[in-house]
């Protein structure tokens, strides 16, 4: 049902039988209730808390948790501790699908029996990512579609129980309008319209895109221009889970937004973890220029024609060592020997081992330990093509 609505779904444990049915009835179900979680340390820990609950309120605390990338984590089915006691008049209005809800001023009806519940990860005060809001509305619409309900069967916790503020920052009438649009269009994301035929352009340079840098590239703290270019492409694809303008340092907001893109491309569960893979990276088409390394004004360009410089370096060290050894041997001899040809010949031969040793050392540094010799190419950004 949820996957059919184009949503990314992760199933946790035996969620189909994880419930509180032994502590009260489940059903008849009459609507969908939207919550926000409040402060949290991490999305993973919040999903687990909603699954297991805590001492004063055992889990599951909802049927599904919707994270900020729009992924839905299924944690329970049946009676869940999410709605608590609420207003009977509100329940009757939901059953009748009235456009206007009465004010919730009583807590005299068991809501856990009558409502599906979605906990949406948010403090309630921060902006809601577009991908998360879209998933919330699609999930609510999917359940309404199965039961034959309309958008007026969807309410917020703050409309059910006196004193509850969630979901904070969301106008529920606007949210129900979102649900109505998804009910009208069938719930599936609309495919990109086929472009109109255009005249064939004249042959030109083939566009180049950033090469896939590998999963290890995308770790917390990694800084690269290709990451900010990726973010621009994600936003252009409608996968915006950023609270603030994205930068070039990899963080959780980038992961959430990429997870939303993976979901859009039809991936679910571990395949929508927010870490770029080669298939979706190729589809995203991040411009390769964004990954070009910044030139270092204090370092000369050493990438062109490196071998002549290497050979000169080897020759210079070898000759310098030879001459140093030769002069050292002659300086150690007596003054009269300084004009003796045989002494010079002997010193010249004796200096050869030192020169060979210097040659071996220089070759070892240049060829045996990549990255330490000055003539080797500078380190490249993994996302930048070599050509």
Q: What is the pLDDT of residues 204-237, one digit of tens each?
A: 566 688 999 999 999 988 999 999 999 999 999 9
CA 314 to mean position of chain CA atoms: 47
- The pTM of the full predicted model, rounded to 2 decimals, is 0.63
Lowest mean pLDDT: which of 30-44, 77-91, 287-301, 336-350?
Answer: 287-301
DSSP annotation of 137 reads: H
Domain ranges of the chain: 3-185, 215-284, 306-367
Q: Cα–Cα distance between 20 and 82 in angstroms, integer?
A: 11
Is 50 exceeded by the pLDDT of residue 42? yes
Q: Which pLDDT does position 339 carry in this prediction?
A: 63
Residue appearing with tokens 């150690």: 332
Q: To 5 degrees, how large is the angle CA 59–CA 60–CA 65?
A: 130
Q: Is 308 exposed, middle or buried (0-12, 13-18, 19+ CB in 10 A)?
A: exposed
What fold is seen in the domain 3-185? Lysozyme-like (3.40.80)
Check: CB of residue 59 under 8 Å from CB of residue 13.
no
The token pair that represents 133 in the structure block: 């809001």
Q: Which pLDDT does position 50 carry in this prediction?
A: 97
Sorted by sequence, the CB contacts under 8 Å of residue 97 that are 6+ apart come out as 149, 150, 152, 153
Q: Which pLDDT does position 21 carry in this prediction?
A: 96
Is 60 exceeded by the pLDDT of residue 49? yes
Architecture in CATH for domain 215-284 = Orthogonal Bundle (1.10)
Among 17, 19, 32, 16, residue whose Cα is nearest residue 111: 32
DSSP string, 225-245: HHHHHHHHHHHHTT----SS-
Check: CB of residue 67 under 8 Å from CB of residue 134.
no
Q: Hey, is 75 helix, strand or coil?
A: coil
Q: To 5 degrees, how large is the angle CA 83–CA 135–CA 274?
A: 115
More reliable by pLDDT, 173 or 319: 173
Q: Which pLDDT does position 202 carry in this prediction?
A: 65
Q: How far apart are the first and last CA of the chain?
A: 47
Q: Hey, is 249 helix, strand or coil?
A: strand
Q: Cα–Cα distance between 333 and 346 in angstroms, integer?
A: 11
Average pLDDT, the chain: 83
The token pair that represents 8 in the structure block: 């990314």
């Amino acid at each position: 049902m949820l996957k059919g609505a184009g949503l990314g779904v992760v199933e946790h444990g035996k969620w189909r039988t994880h419930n509180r049915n032994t502590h009260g009835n489940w059903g008849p179900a009459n609507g969908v209730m939207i919550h926000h979680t409040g402060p949290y340390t991490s999305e993973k820990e919040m999903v687990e808390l909603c699954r297991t609950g805590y001492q004063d309120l055992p889990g599951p605390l909802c049927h599904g948790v919707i994270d900020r990338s729009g992924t839905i984590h299924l944690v329970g089915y049946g009676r869940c501790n999410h709605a608590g006691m609420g207003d009977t008049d509100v329940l009757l209005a939901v059953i009748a699908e009235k456009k206007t809800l009465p004010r919730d001023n009583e807590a005299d009806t068991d809501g856990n029996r009558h409502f599906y519940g979605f906990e949406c990860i948010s403090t309630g005060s921060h902006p809601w990512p577009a991908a998360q809001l879209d998933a919330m509305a699609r999930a609510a619409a999917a359940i309404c579609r199965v039961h034959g309900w309309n958008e007026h069967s969807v309410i917020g916790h703050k409309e059910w129980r006196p004193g509850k503020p969630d979901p904070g920052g969301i106008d529920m009438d606007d949210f129900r309008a979102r649900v109505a649009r998804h009910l009208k269009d069938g719930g599936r994301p609309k495919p990109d319209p086929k472009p109109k035929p255009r005249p064939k352009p004249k042959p030109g340079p083939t566009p180049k895109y950033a090469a896939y840098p590998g999963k290890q590239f995308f770790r917390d703290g990694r800084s690269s221009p290709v990451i900010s270019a990726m973010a621009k492409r994600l936003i252009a694809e409608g996968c915006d889970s950023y609270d603030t303008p994205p930068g070039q340092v990899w963080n959780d907001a980038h992961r959430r937004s990429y997870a939303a893109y993976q979901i859009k491309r039809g991936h679910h569960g571990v395949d929508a973890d927010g870490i770029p893979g080669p298939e979706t990276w190729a589809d995203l088409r991040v411009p390769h220029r964004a990954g070009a390394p910044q030139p270092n004004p204090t370092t000369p360009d050493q990438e062109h024609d490196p071998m002549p410089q290497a050979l000169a370096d080897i020759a210079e060290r070898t000759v310098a060592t030879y001459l140093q050894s030769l002069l050292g041997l002659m300086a150690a001899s007596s003054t009269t020997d300084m004009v003796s040809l045989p002494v010079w010949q002997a010193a010249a031969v004796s200096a050869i081992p030192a020169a060979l040793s210097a040659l071996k050392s220089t070759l070892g540094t240049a060829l045996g330990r990549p990255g330490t010799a000055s003539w080797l190419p500078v380190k490249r950004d993994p996302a930048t093509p070599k050509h």
